[in-house]
């Protein structure tokens, strides 16, 4: 089974390139360029793991994360931050993100985290009462 991954980042070139590289690593990847589009997509599609940029125009990363957790609590979120300090990322962990990476990051490290997140979500889904 391949994880369904959503990359949320307002830097379109970054998002497209990362999507292609993750597709070489057995991921099914979609892209959203802002928080609102991401929330719409997550509500409609079965997304396993979200790669979420924290600094975005309009609805920011933390607000997007809160919405994602409200509509799909089992969807795992990995934050990507360009900030030199980790305060916002720590705030994200408190509201339900699984982990964070600093930009620029190593794709192998990200792919490993995605696989961990996918496994975690699968376990949680099995535990969930039907």
Partner 1 sequence: MNTISDENVRFFGKVVASISHEIKNVMAIINEKAGLLQDLTVMAQKGMALDVNRVQTIADDMRTQIKRGDAIIKNMNKFAHSADEDIKEVSLNELTGLIAILSERFASRFGATLSFKPAQEGLTIRTRPFLLEFILWDCIKIALERCGEDKAITIAVEKSDQGAQVQFFIRNENFPDSIIIDGLSWQLDDLHADLKVQKSKPQMVLLLPKDIS
Between 47 and 110, name the residue whose CB sits nearer to partner 1: 110
CA angle 104, 90, 51 (to 5 degrees): 45
Q: Which of 53, 1, 10 is nearest to 28 (CA)?
A: 1
Residue 129: CB minimum distance to partner 1, A: 40
Residues forming contacts to partner 1 in the complex (CB under 8 A) are 10-11, 13-14, 17-18, 20-21, 24, 55, 57-58, 60, 82-84, 103-105, 107
Alpha carbon 124 to its chain centroid, in Å, reads 17
* DSSP one-letter code for 74: T
What are the start-end ranges of the E strands in 10-115?
Answer: 28-32, 49-53, 76-81, 99-102
Tokens of 26: 């057995």
Residue 107: CB minimum distance to partner 1, A: 6
Residue 38: CB minimum distance to partner 1, A: 15
Alpha carbon 32 to its chain centroid, in Å, reads 11
Residue 35: CB minimum distance to partner 1, A: 11
């Amino acid at each position: 089974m391949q994880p369904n991954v959503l990359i949320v980042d307002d830097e379109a070139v970054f998002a497209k390139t990362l999507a292609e590289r993750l597709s070489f690593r057995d991921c099914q990847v979609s892209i959203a360029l802002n928080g609102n589009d991401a929330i719409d997509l997550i509500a409609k599609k079965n997304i396993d793991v979200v790669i979420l940029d924290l600094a975005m125009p309009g609805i920011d990363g933390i607000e997007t994360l809160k919405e994602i957790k409200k509509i799909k609590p089992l969807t795992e979120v990995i934050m990507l931050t360009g900030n030199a300090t980790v305060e916002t990322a720590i705030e994200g962990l408190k509201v339900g993100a699984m982990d964070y990476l600093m930009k620029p990051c190593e794709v192998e490290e990200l792919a490993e985290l995605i696989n961990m997140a996918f496994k975690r979500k699968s376990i949680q889904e099995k535990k969930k009462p039907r």
